[in-house]
Structure 1
Amino acid sequence: MTQRSPFLPQYSDLPEEIAIFPLPNAVVLPGGFLPLNIFEPRYIAMVQDAMRNNQLIGMVQPKPNLASPNSDDIYSIGCAGRIFKYQETLDGRIELALIGVSRFEILSEVDGANGYRKVKVAWSGYKSDFDTPDSVDSELDQKFRAALRHYMNDQQLKTDWSTLEQLSVGDLCNSILSFLPLTSDDKQLLLETQSLADRIKAFAAVLLNARANNKPTTH
């Protein structure tokens, strides 16, 4: 996000506790966007509580192959998103969109409310999410865009390239991740990558690896 929205909280405004929404393959990065369709009563309550307070929801991914609901069944690193679009539907759902604010580390789980989970978090390891990112060299920029284009063509994903080309490579990287059918592990890796340049480099490698794994074997 080249220009930070004036509606987003500052680092000093971030809460010590946050409601979390564990959802596989649903990752939002700082400055990125994530659309959500909310229909479970506990998560409708979570969204309504967030709207009455700071509009923040913590997105975290469940760890694979773990069924028991405890603090060890989710990854310890997530990202808070602020609700910036909200629409109630006649069939009892809430359609909303989040914009990524900052990553966090889960310290412990606390008593929740209305059936949803809350955690105590530390933001200090990701204070750089509030900084203006350093520029990315043109070679890495071109490498990432080429890898993304090839991957999306392979996946037959319809894309408005004229719009994407107008984004900086940082905004493109942080915005597009939510919409790609990558694995939970790959998305978690990119979420936890500290600097923007390292994330773009890792993202390009993930896309190239995904292409290689999806190609049919020839004999």
Structure 2
Amino acid sequence: MTLTDRYRRPADLPARIPVFPLRGAILLPRATLPLNIFEPRFLEMIDDVMSGGRVIGILQPLVAGDDDQESPLDKTAGLRSVGCAGRVTSYQELDDGRLIITLTGIIRFESIGETETDKPYRIMSASYDRFANDLTEGLGEELVDRQNLLRVLKTYLEVNRLKTDWASIQRASNEFLINALSVMCPYGPEEKQALLEARDLRSRAEVLVALAEIDLASNGSSGTTLQ
């Protein structure tokens, strides 16, 4: 059974989910996010979810002042209101006690409250209704300016001397390409959140292109030179 088959409507998702607050990281529908789990609180969280629905939320913490913690220890630390629920689709235990997992994105959610718990991790009440369209695979792909996206991406890769399998990129669907690039791109928390909260696939592609062009301009390069 694929994720698309398993989760067809928001009601198929749990109303309360444990969350992994992670600065500078997002997840998007059908994209994947590898995680190296070593903190005791999150090892316990993964143990718990593996015996249940295997769903957790990725939610960025709010950055306060010079607080640059990747994942705040304080359970009262502010969190963003929008995240993405994912299912653990790969799980590996290492000899040193760490876990290597892969999350596959299902649907974005709004955090509408926190559940009190004696667990060392946080559990949020989640509303998925605003993002119900996330459950429809490939929705809006035809509206994406793919040529412009690929052109700017190619320029960005060449300017930054990054190697990639360009043939695989050209074969990828618009949804896979845009969401995977959004998850992997080396931007800061605010830019990542903008990609996460983009209204639809076309809007997310436009944000990606704008961010890449800003980067290129700051390096003295133009995203319009390659055809």
Alignment TM-score, normalising by the size of structure 1: 0.89
Within a 5 Å distance, the mapping from 1:1-219 to structure 2 comes to: 5=3, 8-11=6-9, 12-65=11-64, 69=74, 73-132=78-137, 133-137=139-143, 140-215=145-220
CA distance in 1, matches of 2:18, 2:118: 9
In the TM superposition, what whole-angstrom CA distance separates every residue of 1:143-184 from its partner, at most 9, and x where no partner exists? 111122222333333311111111012210011222221111
**Quick one: distance in 1 between partners of 2:168 and 2:181?**
12
Within 2, Cα distance between the matches of 1:29 and 1:154? 27
Cα contact 2:34–2:100 (8 A) shared by 1: yes
Assess if the C-alpha contact under 8 Å between 1:33 and 1:100 holds in 2: yes
Deviations 1:32-65 (A, max 9, x none): 1101000001001111111111111100111222
The separation in 1 between residues aligned to 2:205 and 2:174, in whole angstroms, is 8
- Any unmatched runs of 5+ in structure 1? none
Distance 2:75 2:97 in 1: 28
Deviation beyond 3 Å, 4+ runs, structure 1? 4-8, 66-72
For 1:64 and 1:153, locate their aligned partners in 2 and report how far apart those are by CA, in whole Å: 32
SS at match of 2:18: strand
Aligned length: 212
The one-letter amino acid paired with 1:208 is E
Unaligned runs of 5+ in 2: 222-227
Q: Contact 1:23 / 1:62 at 8 angstroms: preserved in 2? A: yes
CA contact (8 A) 1:170 1:200 kept: no
Conserved? CA contact 2:113–2:124, under 8 Å? yes
- Equivalent residue letter for 2:33: L
The aligned residue for residue 225 of structure 2 is none
> Quick one: distance in 2 between partners of 1:77 and 1:202?
17
In structure 2, distance between residues paired with 1:10 and 1:51: 21
Aligned-residue RMSD, C-alpha = 2.0
Contact 1:71–1:108, Cα closer than 8 Å, also in 2: no
Supply the distance in 2 between the matched residues of 1:118 and 1:5 (Cα, whole angstroms).
Answer: 22
Bigger Cα displacement from structure 2, 83-92 vs 124-133: 124-133
Is residue 8–residue 82 contact of structure 1 (8 Å, CA) maintained in 2? Answer: no
Given that residues 141 and 201 in structure 2 are in contact (C-alpha distance below 8 angstroms), is that contact kept between their aligned partners in structure 1?
no
**Percent identity between the two aligned chains:** 33
3-state SS of 1:136 partner: helix
The TM-score normalised by the length of structure 2 is 0.86
